[in-house]
A and B are shown apart, each in its own frame.
Chain A
Amino acid sequence: MNDTSPALHASNLGKSYRRGWALRDCSFSLPTGSVVALVGPNGAGKSTLMALAAGIATPTTGSIAVLGSVAGGRGPHPKLAFLSQDQPLYRRFTVDEILHFGRAMNGQWDDRYARRLIQDCGIPLNARISTLSGGQRTRVALALALGRRPAALLLDEPLASLDPLARREVMQTLLAETADTGITLLLSSHVIADVEDSCDHLLLLSDGRLRLDGPIDKLLAAHQLLTGPAGGLPSWLPTGAVIETRSAAKQMTILTQNTAAPKPAEWTAVEPTLHELVLGYLRSTGQSQGEMEPAA
C-alpha cells in the first residue's frame, strides 16, 4: 500500500451485464480525504461503480484501484467499508449482536468507538434490528461501517429511505465523524440537495458514462450561466463551449464553459450553482429532468 496513492483510481473502467453496459470508459482519480458526491439519475451506474470499488463485482474492462491496490471482485480492501443501498442488516440480530458481528467479521474493529456512535443517538443495545426506524437502522449500519476505522467509506444512497429530519441528522453525524479522521467519503445520491452542502468533489454519471469529475469549486468556476435575449445561439459564443440552452418567451439561458469571448452588454453571466451545473449536463445528455431530483 502506498500512502501517496489516490483513495480511488479508475482507469477505463467498464462493466457490462447481459442487458448491456452499466458503466463505460470511466476514468477518474479521487484524492484521499475528499468528500465525493457520486451523482446521477436512477440507473446511471452509481451502484455498479460502488460495487466495483467495493470488490463485489468484477470489471469487464479496465480496473479500479483502492488505496493503491486493484480491486478484484473478491471482497473489499481491508481499509474500505461499504454500505450498500438500503443498508441490509440481519433483522433478527439485536443492536449489540450487530456490533458483535462487526468484531467477529473484521480483523480491525474499534468496539468502544462503534458503541459510542450507537449510544450518541440513543438506540438501545438490546433492541432488535427489525424494531428500529429507518433512521435508526441507518445509524446502526453507519456505526458498523465506521467501527472498522476505514480509510475509505462508500455509501450507496444512504439517505434514500429517510425522512428529511433523519437525512439531516445522519449527514451531520457522518460529516462530524469523518471530518477530522481524513476518511475518503464517496456518497451516491440522486438528490443533489443531499450532497451539495457537504461534498467537495463531484462525479456525475449518466447513462453509464462519467460526465463531470473534479473538485466542485473548480467545476463551478469553470462554467458560467449566461442570460440574454431570446432568438437562437448568439454568434459571438464559441459553439464548442455550450453545454445546454433553454429558451423562454423573451430570454434564453445558456450553460457554457468559461470563454474568453467578449460578451455584449445585454447578456449577464453568473457562476452556476451545483444544482444548475448538474441539471445542465444531464439535460444535455438527454436525461429527463424528472429522474434527477433537485431537492427531496
Chain B
Amino acid sequence: MNDISLGPSPAAAGFEIARPRTNVLWVAWRQQRFQVLTSLALIGAVALGLVIFRLNLVGALEGLGTAGCVPLADDGPCTASHAPDIPDQFSTIASLVPLVMLALPPLLGALAGGPLFAREYEQGTQILSLTQSVGPVKWWASKIAAAGLPVAAGLLALGLINEWAMDPMSSFAAKHLLTPGFQTRGITPAAYFILAFAIAVTAGIMLRNTAAAIGLTVAIYVVLLLLLGLARPHYAMPEQFRDSVPASEGQPASDADDSWQLDYYYVNATGEKVSPRTDGCQAEDGYQQCLVQQGIVGAVMEYQPADRFWRFQATEAALALAASAALFAAGLIRLRRHIT
C-alpha cells in the first residue's frame, strides 16, 4: 500500500491489521443517547395515541352493534353500510395520523443522521477519535448503529402498531396500497427512516456542515420517495378485470373493492386499446351503444389486489434499503479518504 522501499526497515505497516479490543459502542452511545432517547419518546407517544385510538374505536363499534366486525366484511351483519355510523372524531383522527406517520421517518432520520459526523468535523473531534487505536470503519459503524438502530426498531414497531390500530377503519379510510396508507403502515416507516438517515449521514460526511446536511437530506428524500412512487405500480404485474361492452351494468365491477386501480380502458375485437369518441354519439342511442358503434367490445380494468400489501411493502423496503446501502458505502469511502 505504500512505497516501503523508502523507509528504514519498515515492517510493512503490519500494525494496521491487528486492531485491539475496544468498546467504541459505549462512546457512540454516550454521544447519541440524548437524541436517541428523545426520538424513542416521540415514537412512544405516537404509539400510545394509536393504541388508545384503536381501543376507543373498537368500543364505539361495539356500542353501535357492530361488535366482532373488525375488520368489517363485505357481507353478513358487518357490511360497509355501517360506514356512516363511525363517529366523526375517529374519521378526523384517522385522516391526521398519516400526516404524522409521513413526517416522522424523514424528520427523525435527518435529525439523527445530519449531525452524526458533520458535528465531529465542525468541532474537529473526528481527529480525536480517529487518532486513537480504533480504525475508521469501526468508528463509523458504531456511530451509525448507536444513532440509527434503536430509532429504526422503534419506527418498525410504530408502523406495525399503526397497521393494527387503523385496521378497523380499513373499509372507510385510505386503502391499503394507496397513498398515504401504504407509506404509513407496516414496515415502510422504518425503511423510510433508514433511507433518510443514510442520506443525512453521508451528506454530513460530504458537506461537513450539519445545517446543510439536513437541508440536502430533505431535498434528496423527497425526490427518492417520488421515484419510489413512480416505480410502485410495477412491483408486480397488475391483475386484469374484463367486462364486455355492452355490459349488463354500466361499469365493470371489480371483485376487490379495496384494490389499487391503475388503469381503465376499452378494447376492440382484436384486443387493441381504443380511445372512445363521444362527439358522434346521439343522445338517444345511449353511451354503451355509442361505444359498440366504434368497434369497442370490452372494457378492461388493471389493478393491484389489496392482498399484495405485504409483498409490496417488502419490495418497497428492499429498494429503500438498497439505496441506503449505496449511500452508506459512499460516505464510508469518503470518510476513509479524508480524515483531516
Q: Taking each of A54, A70, A74, A148, which has the highest tally of chain B beta carbons within 10 Å of its own beta carbon?
A: A70
CB-based contact A74/B124 at 8 Å = no
CB-based contact A68/B132 at 8 Å = no
Within 8 A of B (CB), among A38-84: 51, 54-57, 62-65, 68-78, 81-82, 84
Q: Is the interface of A mostly helix, strand, loop or mixed?
A: loop
B336 in the interface, Cβ–Cβ < 8 Å? yes
**CA separation between A63 and B13, bound complex, in Å?**
12
**CA separation between A71 and B131, bound complex, in Å?**
12
B278 in the interface, Cβ–Cβ < 8 Å? no
Within 8 A of A (CB), among B130-177: 130-136
Within 8 A of A (CB), among B116-136: 123-125, 127-136
Which of B24-32, B94-102, B199-207 contacts the other chain?
B24-32
Question: Per a CB cutoff under 8 Å, which of B2, B22, B128 touches A89?
Answer: B128
CB-based contact B131/A81 at 8 Å = yes
B340 in the interface, Cβ–Cβ < 8 Å? yes
Which of B4-12, B243-251, B299-307, B321-329 contacts the other chain?
B4-12
Min C-beta distance of B123 to chain A, whole Å: 6
**CA separation between A65 and B8, bound complex, in Å?**
8
CB-based contact A74/B11 at 8 Å = no
CB-based contact A78/B123 at 8 Å = no
Contact with B along A100-128 (1 / 0, CB 8 A): 11111111100000000000000000000
Question: Per a CB cutoff under 8 Å, which of A2, A6, A65, A88 touches B124?
Answer: A88
CB-based contact B133/A106 at 8 Å = yes
CB-based contact A78/B20 at 8 Å = yes
B41 in the interface, Cβ–Cβ < 8 Å? no
A91 in the interface, Cβ–Cβ < 8 Å? yes
CB-based contact A74/B22 at 8 Å = no
Residues of B within 8 A of A68 (CB): 7-11
CB-based contact A105/B134 at 8 Å = yes
CB-based contact B8/A6 at 8 Å = yes
**CA separation between A2 and B125, bound complex, in Å?**
32
Given contacts A88-B125, A104-B24, A105-B22, contact A82 B131 (CB under 8 A): yes
CB-based contact B131/A29 at 8 Å = no
Question: Per a CB cutoff under 8 Å, which of B3, B10, B129, B133 touches A107?
Answer: B133
Min C-beta distance of B116 to chain A, whole Å: 14
CB-based contact A63/B4 at 8 Å = yes
Identify the closest chain A residue to B14 (Cβ): A69
CB-based contact A105/B10 at 8 Å = no
CB-based contact A56/B130 at 8 Å = yes
Contact with A along B23-52 (1 / 0, CB 8 A): 110110011000000000000000000000
B279 in the interface, Cβ–Cβ < 8 Å? no
CB-based contact B135/A63 at 8 Å = no
Given contacts A11-B6, A75-B136, contact A70 B131 (CB under 8 A): no
CB-based contact B133/A74 at 8 Å = no
**Which of the four size classes fits the interface of chain B?**
35 or more
Residues of B within 8 A of A65 (CB): 7-8, 10
Residues of B within 8 A of A101 (CB): 27, 30
Residues of B within 8 A of A104 (CB): 22-24, 26-27
A9 in the interface, Cβ–Cβ < 8 Å? yes
CB-based contact A56/B133 at 8 Å = no
CB-based contact A54/B131 at 8 Å = yes
Residues of B within 8 A of A2 (CB): 9, 11
CB-based contact A56/B7 at 8 Å = no
CB-based contact A9/B131 at 8 Å = no
**CA separation between A75 and B13, bound complex, in Å?**
11
CB-based contact A105/B6 at 8 Å = no
Q: Taking each of A56, A102, A105, which has the highest tally of chain B beta carbons within 10 Å of its own beta carbon?
A: A105
**CA separation between A209 and B111, bound complex, in Å?**
44
A196 in the interface, Cβ–Cβ < 8 Å? no
Residues of A within 8 A of B318 (CB): none
A97 in the interface, Cβ–Cβ < 8 Å? yes
Identify the closest chain B residue to A65 (Cβ): B7
Identify the closest chain B residue to A107 (Cβ): B20
A–B pairs, 22, beta carbons within 8 Å = A1-B14, A2-B11, A63-B4, A65-B7, A68-B10, A69-B10, A69-B14, A70-B4, A70-B13, A71-B13, A72-B1, A72-B16, A74-B336, A75-B134, A78-B20, A82-B131, A88-B125, A89-B125, A100-B26, A105-B23, A106-B132, A148-B133
